[in-house]
Chains A and B, each alone.
Chain A
């Protein structure tokens, strides 16, 4: 089992979301950075949808009371254990009694901690994701708190073999890591590809031009539900009311004040604001790692290009999964001493 010594700013259990209930208004939730979540799982031999811990800006301090194989992917939240810095994107073996400690964000915003076997929480409507506002899913429907105890399911054959390696240091890391091809290129100023939103042609010509020319800053009122963007105000050609209809992760909607909102994992299922753009799924992990104050620009692509990029990403992830399965025994070694 694992005990939470310090919970961090916002640490929740997430998976790939509560899919299939949007027609009843149940939000999807799930990992903000889908790729980091999936790669972390694949690196420890899990299915890519197994529950992970999503940590935000300031990470937790976690005491492992049993041997475990873990992986940390996504933003760099300064993870250490037994006095050494822990690498990202790589399987890590921790011995019973080890405390994995995260600090502030050195790069990005969100990190994902997968454990071989997957965090063991009850599924609600088919998903382990935490839905904070409704108080369901994850660990008791809420963010982790000091004193919480989480367990994980029995690891698969591969990770069990890795765990059976002879006694060694408190912490050891694999000699290999996830290929750079599958790691998103996180930055604090990014270009993200968008398609036209369903109401793009409701906007004034100069607003549509500004949407693609200006840089937008992520506002302080930004969370798992969505990011408020600061930049040129975007205006409709004429006041016009939209009847509520479905929105999705990556939807860029514009309320009457003209300041766009980029909807993220905990968005509502429907909305009544005009949608000027839609960030493509392949680029959402980059958005998930933005912090308030970071900037983004929008670059327009077609639906065909968006789907081509997504298929390429899925192929890369399949190759990673196959490579891990074929890896066999791990030659564990000491992580470099932290300087």
Chain B
């Protein structure tokens, strides 16, 4: 049986907890609840943030108090069935691996007793689930990376990692949408912008999508280059 708890996050948000671990069933429950709330869109609803095991609902306390929001959310959770979700959107992200874009590719390979080409092959074979977006605009928390290419974070984080950089940290892989400091092992870079503030939705990826990485050459990278950072 799944556990559910609804707790306040201050006076203007409520956290619905739908499980305890990162797993496909909890992810489906998160997505179902997200859809139910958005379909109903009560007048006190402001926005929601889906995460690995939670959906946090921001609301207007001038229009409903916590008890009302809690009661309504509890009924939505109770009514969650196991109806199939629409098939996830599949997004292909071209990546130019190694070289100046992936200075840590060799280290990831050595750590796992592989060649660089094998790391690229394994990384680009995966179908990754976007469990949630957080940390930075459009930054995907991806599930499904092969443990054969796992690698620990760098002891000293880099001061600035360019937008579009693809990295590995532990069992996770991800793409930096904006230039930020970070401690991930860098294996490549995409010419595609993940944060597009001029569009709505403003990011390439949303929770629930499936991501596939596609190896490209430096020439293709240059041809597809969208300009990196948001501005």
A231 to chain B, nearest CB (A): 21
Since A133-B178, A245-B52, A278-B10 are in contact, a sample of 12 more A-B pairs with Cβ atoms closer than 8 Å, ordered by chain A residue number, is A25-B133, A133-B136, A135-B229, A244-B134, A245-B51, A246-B56, A248-B12, A268-B136, A280-B10, A303-B66, A304-B66, A307-B66
B88 to chain A, nearest CB (A): 16
29 A-B contacts, Cβ less than 8 Å apart?
A: A21-B47, A23-B47, A23-B49, A23-B133, A25-B134, A25-B135, A25-B203, A124-B197, A134-B136, A134-B178, A134-B229, A135-B230, A136-B197, A198-B8, A245-B54, A246-B49, A248-B12, A248-B58, A251-B9, A268-B136, A269-B49, A270-B49, A270-B132, A270-B134, A275-B9, A304-B65, A307-B61, A307-B65, A310-B61
In the bound complex, CA of A244 to CA of B10 (Å) = 17
Q: Mark A241-252, 1 if CB is under 8 A from B, else 0.
A: 001111110110
Of B10, B54, B231, which one neighbours A281 at CB under 8 angstroms? B10
CB neighbors of B among A265-316 (8 A): 268-271, 275, 278-282, 303-304, 306-307, 310-311, 314
Whether A198 pairs with B9 at a CB distance below 8 angstroms is yes
Q: Is A22 an interface residue (CB 8 A)?
A: yes
In the bound complex, CA of A141 to CA of B48 (Å) = 26
Whether B10 pairs with A134 at a CB distance below 8 angstroms is no
Q: Which residues on the B side are within 8 Å of A247 (C-beta)?
A: 9
Whether B134 pairs with A303 at a CB distance below 8 angstroms is no
Closest to A243 in B: B52
Whether A195 pairs with B10 at a CB distance below 8 angstroms is yes
Whether B9 pairs with A248 at a CB distance below 8 angstroms is yes
Closest to A136 in B: B197
Of A133, A279, A304, A314, which one neighbours B10 at CB under 8 angstroms? A279
Q: Is A20 an interface residue (CB 8 A)?
A: yes
Q: Mark B57-85, 1 if CB is under 8 A from A, else 0.
A: 01001100111000000000000000000
In the bound complex, CA of A198 to CA of B5 (Å) = 10
In the bound complex, CA of A268 to CA of B21 (Å) = 22
Q: Which residues on the A side are within 8 Å of B207 (C-beta)?
A: 23
Q: Is A24 an interface residue (CB 8 A)?
A: yes
Q: Is A330 an interface residue (CB 8 A)?
A: no
Whether A244 pairs with B52 at a CB distance below 8 angstroms is yes
Q: Is A26 an interface residue (CB 8 A)?
A: yes
Q: Which residues on the B side are within 8 Å of A268 (C-beta)?
A: 134-136
Q: Which residues of B contact A (CB under 8 A)?
A: 7-13, 15, 21-22, 46-54, 56, 58, 61-62, 65-67, 132-139, 141, 177-178, 180, 195, 197-198, 200-203, 206-207, 229-231
In the bound complex, CA of A311 to CA of B63 (Å) = 10
Whether B52 pairs with A24 at a CB distance below 8 angstroms is no
In the bound complex, CA of A141 to CA of B10 (Å) = 30
Whether B178 pairs with A244 at a CB distance below 8 angstroms is no
Whether A136 pairs with B230 at a CB distance below 8 angstroms is yes
Closest to B206 in A: A24
Whether A303 pairs with B8 at a CB distance below 8 angstroms is yes
A49 to chain B, nearest CB (A): 14
Closest to A275 in B: B9
Whether A244 pairs with B47 at a CB distance below 8 angstroms is no
Q: Is A27 an interface residue (CB 8 A)?
A: yes
Q: Is A209 an interface residue (CB 8 A)?
A: no
Whether B62 pairs with A311 at a CB distance below 8 angstroms is yes
Q: Mark A113-133, 1 if CB is under 8 A from B, else 0.
A: 000000000001100000001
In the bound complex, CA of A270 to CA of B61 (Å) = 21
Q: Is A323 an interface residue (CB 8 A)?
A: no
User: Which of A26, A124, A246 has the largest number of chain B CB atoms within 10 A?
Assistant: A246
Closest to A197 in B: B9
In the bound complex, CA of A261 to CA of B198 (Å) = 32
Closest to B140 in A: A25
Whether B15 pairs with A26 at a CB distance below 8 angstroms is no
Whether B10 pairs with A311 at a CB distance below 8 angstroms is no
Of B61, B135, B231, which one neighbours A135 at CB under 8 angstroms? B231
Whether A134 pairs with B197 at a CB distance below 8 angstroms is yes
Q: Which residues on the A side are within 8 Å of B10 (C-beta)?
A: 195, 248, 250-251, 278-281, 306
Known: A135-B230, A135-B231, A304-B65. A270 touches B135 (CB 8 A): yes
Q: Which residues on the B side are within 8 Å of A282 (C-beta)?
A: 11
In the bound complex, CA of A250 to CA of B51 (Å) = 20
In the bound complex, CA of A246 to CA of B207 (Å) = 14
Known: A19-B46, A25-B134, A25-B135. A306 touches B52 (CB 8 A): no
In the bound complex, CA of A307 to CA of B10 (Å) = 9
Closest to B194 in A: A25
A307 to chain B, nearest CB (A): 5
In the bound complex, CA of A281 to CA of B10 (Å) = 8
Q: Which residues on the A side are within 8 Å of B202 (C-beta)?
A: 21, 24, 26, 125
In the bound complex, CA of A303 to CA of B10 (Å) = 7
Q: Which residues on the A side are within 8 Å of B203 (C-beta)?
A: 24-26
